[in-house]
């Protein structure tokens, strides 16, 4: 029988990768909590409509990347390709409008049918934050500053830079759309097939194309700035001022449009040049029209998401941070006391692992190898006196400790 393989573009998360994966989720939520965020988990599959109605039919995601299937009743379902649509659907279906503003943090797997490569998978994972009911430029500034603080808490602030742009309001976008259609129409036959289709339906999307010829044509396209109306301009200026006020540096990138249709005003990306073509680590923007578009009350909102795999690749190895105590019982008559002691120490919050086999020299070598801080040696003689030997693996110091004092001694040792 041939060996079972994982599905292309998916992978198992264990060992060092698992450490980093969970460290990223825990650390980033810890930061977001300081901004008043709560956790939310939405299902990993939704009715296909949830994504069709939100992400936009001319986007890469909807046009070619979705894992859609019919269930046994013929209902069209889709594995979520991103997190925002589900969070907004949840706001609407749970009628949580009285609770606005709502700040929601999520983490979990996303699914896109893409060509797998470094930093690009078919099942990947995101952390993300959605601020629903987010009014005023100060909310944009807060969302961006929170993203920065997350990256800083992960030790990545030196490897990334912030790029921002504005997509203006509806009026500005529609003026810009006309200008883009006029411009791209001149190059229609040179554009990729995808972009030719976008020309009619959503020319802004062409600016986000990864096709080389499309990119070249886009580089000469009219800039958005000339089409921004006064209020959109003021809005964006205030976002920029707010970032400066916090001392966050940014680069203006007028080609930044993002891969989803629901954005308006601020869009931003934290990018790195350490990951080749997969340089976007964290990305987001304002999506004022989305909640209403999906059938809810008009609700301004802003959010961002980051790819856990890309964050992982930028991070150094992590080590276990709970101090380890190694239990070494000598002789079968001591085993049940050892088990009882370990049970009690673990309930008191200590990490204790055990090594029952071989001579002490070999056991100490193994304890060193796993980085144990302390070793408990429990022989028959000790047991008869109700004591153990507690050895500090770093200094080599060894003390006789009464069993009823053991937990206290271990705690003191870890605290010192
Ligand atoms: P890209 O331009 O790299 O395709 P995107 O614009 O499609 O990214 P978003 O939809 O904004 O990405 O998702 C936010 C983040 O999720 C990205 O910045 C990236 O870090 C991560 N991400 C997106 N798609 C994948 C994938 N297939 N594999 C791994 N991470 C991904
Ligand atoms: Mg993509």
* Residue of higher predicted confidence among 59 and 293: 293
What does the pLDDT average to over 146-158?
96
Which of the four pLDDT bands, split at 50, 70 and 90, describes residue 332? Answer: very high
Among residues 296, 314, 332, the one where a domain terminates is 314
| Count of structural domains, the chain | 2
For residues 165 and 56, membership in a common domain is answered with yes
Residues with CB under 6 A from ligand 1: 82, 112, 114, 119-121, 124, 126, 259, 278, 280-281, 283, 305-307, 309-310
Tell whether the model's pLDDT for residue 302 goes beyond 80: yes
In a domain, 197, yes or no: no
Q: In terms of C-beta distances under 8 Å and separation of at least 24 residues, what long-range contacts does 295-298 make, across chains too? A: 295/53, 295/92, 296/88, 296/91, 296/92, 296/97, 297/97
Residue 258 Cα: closest atom of ligand 1 = 6
In a domain, 220, yes or no: no
For residues 329 and 405, membership in a common domain is answered with yes
For residues 378 and 271, membership in a common domain is answered with no
Which of the four pLDDT bands, split at 50, 70 and 90, describes residue 59? Answer: confident
Rg (CA), the chain: 28
Tell whether the model's pLDDT for residue 38 goes beyond 90: yes
Percentage with pLDDT > 70 across the chain: 99
CATH code of the domain in which 110 resides:
3.30.930.10
For residues 268 and 348, membership in a common domain is answered with no
For residues 296 and 408, membership in a common domain is answered with no
For residues 46 and 79, membership in a common domain is answered with yes
**Ligand 1 pocket, mutate which of 259, 270, 276, 315 (most atoms under 8 A from CB):** 259
* Residue of higher predicted confidence among 353 and 57: 353
For residues 350 and 368, membership in a common domain is answered with yes
What is the pLDDT of the chain when averaged over all its residues? 94
CA distance 142 to 383: 60
CA distance 254 to 109: 30
In a domain, 346, yes or no: yes
> H or E stretch including 362?
helix 360-369
Q: Which ligand is nearest to the CA of 56?
A: 1
Q: How far is the CA of 60 from the centre of ligand 2 (A)?
A: 7
Nearest CA to ligand 1 atom 21: 307
Please check whether residue 15 is in contact with residue 82, taking contact to mean a CB–CB distance below 8 angstroms. Answer: no
In a domain, 46, yes or no: yes
For residues 304 and 331, membership in a common domain is answered with no
Please check whether residue 321 is in contact with residue 160, taking contact to mean a CB–CB distance below 8 angstroms. Answer: no
In a domain, 247, yes or no: yes
- The pLDDT score that the predictor gives to residue 63 is 84
Q: How far is the CA of 309 from the centre of ligand 1 (A)?
A: 10
Among residues 314, 333, 357, the one where a domain terminates is 314
- The pLDDT score that the predictor gives to residue 255 is 82
Task: Look up the domain containing 42 and give its range.
Answer: 15-169+229-314
Q: What is the pLDDT of residues 385-410, one digit of tens each?
A: 999 999 999 999 999 999 999 999 99
Q: What is the pLDDT of residues 259-269, one digit of tens each?
A: 667 889 999 99
- The pLDDT score that the predictor gives to residue 104 is 98
Q: How far is the CA of 280 from the centre of ligand 2 (A)?
A: 10
**Ligand 1 pocket, mutate which of 278, 281, 304 (most atoms under 8 A from CB):** 278
For residues 340 and 403, membership in a common domain is answered with yes
Q: How far is the CA of 208 from the centre of ligand 1 (A)?
A: 13
For residues 276 and 406, membership in a common domain is answered with no
In a domain, 2, yes or no: no
DSSP state of 323: P
Tell whether the model's pLDDT for residue 100 goes beyond 80: yes
Q: Which range, of 32-46, 161-175, 251-265, averages the lowest pLDDT?
A: 251-265
For residues 132 and 274, membership in a common domain is answered with yes
What does the pLDDT average to over 273-282?
87
- The pLDDT score that the predictor gives to residue 259 is 64
In a domain, 63, yes or no: yes
Among residues 292, 314, 336, the one where a domain terminates is 314
For residues 251 and 378, membership in a common domain is answered with no
CATH code of the domain in which 329 resides:
3.40.50.800
What does the pLDDT average to over 161-188?
93
């Amino acid at each position: 029988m041939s060996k079972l393989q994982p599905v292309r573009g998916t992978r198992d998360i264990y060992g060092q990768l698992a450490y980093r994966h969970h460290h990223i989720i825990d650390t980033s939520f810890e930061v977001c909590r300081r901004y008043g965020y709560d956790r939310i988990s939405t299902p990993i599959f939704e009715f296909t409509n949830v994504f069709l109605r939100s992400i936009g039919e001319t986007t890469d995601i909807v046009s070619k990347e979705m894992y859609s299937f019919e269930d046994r009743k013929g209902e069209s379902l889709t594995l979520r390709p991103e997190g925002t649509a589900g969070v907004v659907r949840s706001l609407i279906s749970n009628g949580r409008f009285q609770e606005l503003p709502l700040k929601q943090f999520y983490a979990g797997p996303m699914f896109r049918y893409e060509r797998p490569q470094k930093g690009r998978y078919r099942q990947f994972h995101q952390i993300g934050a959605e601020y629903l009911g987010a009014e005023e430029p100060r909310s944009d500034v807060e969302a961006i500053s929170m993203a920065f603080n997350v990256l800083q808490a992960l030790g990545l602030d030196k490897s990334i830079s912030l790029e921002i742009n504005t997509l203006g309001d509806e009026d500005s976008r529609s003026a810009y759309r006309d200008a883009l259609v006029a411009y791209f129409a001149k190059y229609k036959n040179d554009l990729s097939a995808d972009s030719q289709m976008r020309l009619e339906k959503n020319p802004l999307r062409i600016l986000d194309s990864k096709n080389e010829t499309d990119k070249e044509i886009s580089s000469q396209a009219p800039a958005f700035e000339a089409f921004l109306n006064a209020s959109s301009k003021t809005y964006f200026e205030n976002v920029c001022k707010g970032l400066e006020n916090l001392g966050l540096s940014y680069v203006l990138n007028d080609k930044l449009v993002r891969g989803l249709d629901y954005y308006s005003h601020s869009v931003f990306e934290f990018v790195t040049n350490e990951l080749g073509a997969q340089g976007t680590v964290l990305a987001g923007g304002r999506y004022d029209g989305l909640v209403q578009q999906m059938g809810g009350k008009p609700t301004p909102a802003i959010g961002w998401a980051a790819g856990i795999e890309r964050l992982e690749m930028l991070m150094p190895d992590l080590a276990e941070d709970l101090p380890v105590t190694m239990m070494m019982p000598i002789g079968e008559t001591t085993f049940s006391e050892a088990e009882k002691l370990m049970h009690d120490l673990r309930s008191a919050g200590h990490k204790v692992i055990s090594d029952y086999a071989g001579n002490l020299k070999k056991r100490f070598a193994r304890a060193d190898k796993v980085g144990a801080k302390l070793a408990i040696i429990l022989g028959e003689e000790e047991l008869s006196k109700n004591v153990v030997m507690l050895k500090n693996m770093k200094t080599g110091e060894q003390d006789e400790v009464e069993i009823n004092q053991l937990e206290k001694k271990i705690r003191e040792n870890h605290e010192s």
